[in-house]
Amino acid sequence: MMKITLILFLTITLISQGYSALASVSDAEIKSLSEMLYKLDHNRATTSELVIDPQTLISSSETGSRDDASSRPLFKQVSSTLLSKPTYKALLNLLDNYRRVTGEVEDVPSQEVQEQDTFLQQTMNTDVGRELYNFLHSKGIYSSQSEFIQDLKMMWFGLYSRSSGKLDSSGFEHIFAGEIKGGKVSGFHNWLQLYLNEKQGLLNYYSHSFNGPWTTYPDVLGMQFEWDGYFKEVGSAFIGSSPEFDLAIYSLCYITRPGKKCYVSLGGQTLGIQTYTWDNSSYGDGKKYIASAYPTTP
């Protein structure tokens, strides 16, 4: 009876998102697939390509103190070879497309639409992207890769309003690029964006309150930082992961556990991924845009 109830619950959840196929995805399958995505992330940074300096570890009770407890930048070295890989280049081309303050309408000219398409296609050209699609296809959620890519495009890049009724935000902007809302940093869960802004002198790394158990990349940090005058109390992100890995893990959890905590397994270590749905507007046949996704930290 418990198994039948779980299947019905997962089916209803998928239908509520617009995924009407009868597709039961178990917790064990999510962990198994995430382990495979972890192993297939051939474009992750090596310890010679990426060197970081986390410095001061603070307690969770200190995250709101706004004290700059680290005198040096977080990033010591990032290899240009790493940044020249196709999915990295495609992501970097997207990150400067956004107005970070909510309430300001996002214009999306044809060049930026092409950059979105390029990023998604490049991710699907990787083993990580193909593995995710093959799994979801086997579950009947998508009938073709083109359908999958189009849904990712709407899910991640479709615009909605976080402020004043203006089309000022998207899941991609919130998660990968970061936003300013209510006088503080909102979203901003991508290490490449952290690196770019720190390199440009726009981001001041303060400390970290969580450092994952991984000794190679990807790792996870929960960080405190100031972004051009705005504070982030706890910003969690994968560190050293490839762009396709971030997109795949967040998409896997959003599609199978929308608006919930999703447990993945990376190198034998369990990690929670929290996703949120955007409930104020939808696309297609009632599917919901992604509002946020990030690694959870204690």
Length of the chain: 298
The DSSP H or E segment spanning 30 is helix 27-40
Let me know: does 24 contact 263? Beta carbons within 8 Å: no
Active site residues: 174, 189, 232
| Alpha-helical regions (H) of 125-240 | 127-138, 145-157, 171-172, 191-199
State the number of CA atoms in the 13 A half-sphere of 268 facing the CB: 4
Residue 222 structure tokens: 């929960």
| Alpha-helical regions (H) of the chain | 2-16, 27-40, 80-83, 86-94, 110-124, 127-138, 145-157, 171-172, 191-199, 243-256
Instruction: Give the integer Cα–Cα distance in Å for 141 and 136.
Output: 6
